[in-house]
Amino acid sequence: MRRLLWAVVLLIVLSMVTFSIFYLVPRLGGATPETLAARYVGRAATAETVHLTAEKLGLLDPVIVQYWHWLKGIFVGASYDYGSGVEHCPAPCLGYSFITKQPVWPELLDRAPVTISLVVGASIIWLIAGVSIGVISALRRGTVFDRGAMGVALAGVSLPIFFTGLVSLAFFSYRLGITAPGGTFVPFSQNPALWAYSLLLPWITLAFLFSAQYARLTRAGMLETMSEDYIRTARAKGLPERMVILKHALRGALTPVLTIFGLDVGLLLGGAILTEKTFSLNGLGKYAYDGIVSGDLPKILGVTLVAGFFVIMANLIVDLLYGVIDPRVRLE
Amino acid sequence: MTTPALRDLVIRHPGQLDKQPFLEVVDLKVHFPTDDGLVKSVDGLSFALDRGRTLGIVGESGSGKSVTSLAVMGLHTRPSSERTRPGAQLSGEIYLDGDELLSKTPEYVRSLRGKRMAMIFQDPLSAMNPYHTVGQQIIEAYRIHNPVNKKVARKHAIDMLGRVGIPEPSRRIESYPHQFSGGMRQRAMIAMSLSCDPDLLIADEPTTALDVTVQAQILDLIRDLQSEFNSSVVLITHDLGVVAELADDVLVMYAGRAMEYGSAEQLFNRPAHPYTWGLLGSIPRFDRVGAERLLAIKGTPPSLINVPSGCPFHPRCGYAARNGGLSEDVRPELAPVEPGHTVACHLSPTEREQIWEHEIAPKL
């Protein structure tokens, strides 16, 4: 319960910090409320209309007031009056893009399924692949398998996704034609089979990058746990080796993996920018990328908050899971 | 002095034995190949143990006590072709109730572990899995070897916890190891190892990690349970006090070899090896007046890669010079000094007796 409260507090602090940054950065770059407002009025606007627009949009208000308006918008919605018309942004209004003249929230909702599909699929693949490779490597330390797997893992960690992604797209999708070309996405609700088919290559590419790291982490964890005294005890009881590993070693070895897993999934849910861009998937990451390219601050602000929300939630879940996995951290 | 023939076993004489000892180790060698050379942790060790008796194995750290016990339990990683890191190289014979274990498959030895032979470890906190309740760990130990359902196993586990003196066993069975005190944990560990009623219990420094008052309780418990279960106990320790408390027979180890082997009575009253004298001299005594310094054995245990030639103890031995370099060049074999009492030392019986009577005994 206390952790839940902390998560909420953290989220509020996060929104404040992000908002201030997005408020401050343009001003540090020399922008005034007028120059900001000038982007939203016609080209032939007089200085007076620009000032009026800035006032109506609340750009002249102090940062706290602006933050308050923005925060209020999340719960009750907001309307933006920029001279030539009034735009409504219904609750929850996470911001309003004056460039596309669209509220941010519905667009985020629209794109979230793409990112979630990508991340959930990939994370399952990398967790299974990484952990099993790591476990086998640890148990067969020094064998050809171990060396080969760890070599590939090193390559996997080192190769950026825009390299592996483009190479595999070129090879598997365009030359062999066995996977979907870039930019394909079929919602799960429409056709689960096509959904999986369309995401297969992004999943594998993203999972390759991460499973490499997970294999190394699992291997290290396994090697450490296997040398624990309680593993010797389990063997001394006459437990078959398979059960020693599954019942006694794996749990200890996977605790550090779980921490990283929570963080990684949380982070990626906020937008797997490189993967989405490489495979032209219209997810949150691509949305943020578009926002960055066009200088559309509300978009970036929106994605940042959603990403922060996911990271905080992921951490909260990991914290709670810790209690389930390790009785020593369980609250009395 | 109940099994004099057994203790004379340097080489086995099957014809002389009308009864097979329960545990018999013959010329055991455990070597570990490392980058620096071959570590000879145990190098030609023989001993025997009868049902219902306790053998104390004493020696400094690194003398091969634990390596021996792990060899009996079959817990060493054996060399395998696919590993680049080699495991332990074992040779010799280990008989458990007439069954030679080193020639058996790992799977066969595994089926005996926990059921016919069990082990208690030094630090019960690290030796118990922190992720499982004490109950789960005892139930698991019982169910590997007994085809019973969880309910029966649980009842048995509660019963075992009660027998090792844990109050409210039906409640404490749900506790995790970290919720137990050190002494309770060791009791639970004992309950776990005895859950399948093993014939052989190996206790590897069972009281070292515990404070002194708890030590005594645990030793009492082991003694009581031993007579109750009629199991043989191998007690590994560096604490001669613990040996005096529990052991019927004592094996003194140094650099992976037996230095002296006899009944506890013989070893404490008529110790024959200079190393044993050293061990006895380094026990603090509270019945002595004044701030007498302990008689420490000078030097440090030898490297097990380059074990000293001749008698491995000769560089640290105060009497090695007495026999014209014999100790430096020739490895002494275990030889009887009296029935059931053997020693590996080049001192002649008269020399030994003289040194003991005039130099050692008065100081102890």
Quote the pLDDT of residue A83.
Answer: 62
| Size (chain A), residues | 332
Q: What percent of chain B has pLDDT over 70?
A: 90
Between chains, do A328 and B82 touch, taking CB under 8 Å as contact? no
Who among A141, A235, A252 is closest to B75 (CB)?
A235
Select from A238, A325, A328 the Cβ nearest to the Cβ of B145. A238
- How far is Cα of residue B231 from the mean position of the Cα atoms in its chain? 15
pLDDT digits (tens, 9 = 90+) for B7-37: 444 434 343 445 688 999 999 999 998 888 8
Whole-angstrom distance, CA of residue B8 vs CA of residue A72: 92
CATH number for domain A105-329, candidates 3.40.50.300, 1.10.3720.10, 3.40.190.290, 3.20.20.140: 1.10.3720.10
Residue A136, pLDDT > 60, answer yes
Mean pLDDT of B105-120: 92
Q: Looking at the complex, report in whole angstroms how far the Cα of residue B97 sits from the nearest Cα belonging to chain A.
A: 18
CB B269 within 8 A of CB B357: no
Residue B362: the pLDDT is 81
Instruction: Tell me if B204 sits within 8 A of B121, measured CB to CB.
Output: yes
Q: Do B83 and A252 touch (CB under 8 A)?
A: no
Name the residue type at position A70. Answer: W
Q: Which of residues 264-323 of B touch A (CB under 8 A)?
A: none
Closest CB to A229 among B73, B121, B176: B121
Min Cα–Cα distance to chain B from A4, Å: 25
Cβ atoms of residues B141 and B191 within 8 Å:
no
Higher pLDDT, A2 or A150: A150
Interface test with A, best of B128, B131, B174, B204 (most A CBs within 10 A): B131
Contact criterion met (CB < 8 Å) for A234 and B129: yes
How many DSSP H helices and E strands does chain B contain? 14, 12
DSSP string, A241-279: HHHIIIIIIHHHHHHHHHHHHHHHHHHHHT--HHHHHHT
CA B242 centroid distance within chain:
12
With beta carbons less than 8 A apart as the criterion, state whether B160 and B138 touch.
Answer: yes
pTM of the model: 0.79
Fill in the DSSP letter of residue A91: S
Q: Is A327 on the interface with B (CB under 8 A)?
A: yes
Parse chain A into domains and list their residue ranges: 2-93, 105-329
- Which residues of chain A does B111 touch, with a Cβ-Cβ cutoff of 8 Å? 238
A4-15: average pLDDT: 87
The Cα B57–Cα A186 span in angstroms is 71
User: ipTM score here?
Assistant: 0.85
Residue of A nearest to B111 (CA): A238
Number of cross-chain residue pairs from A and B with Cβ atoms under 8 Å apart:
82
A-chain CB neighbours of B144 within 8 Å are 237-239
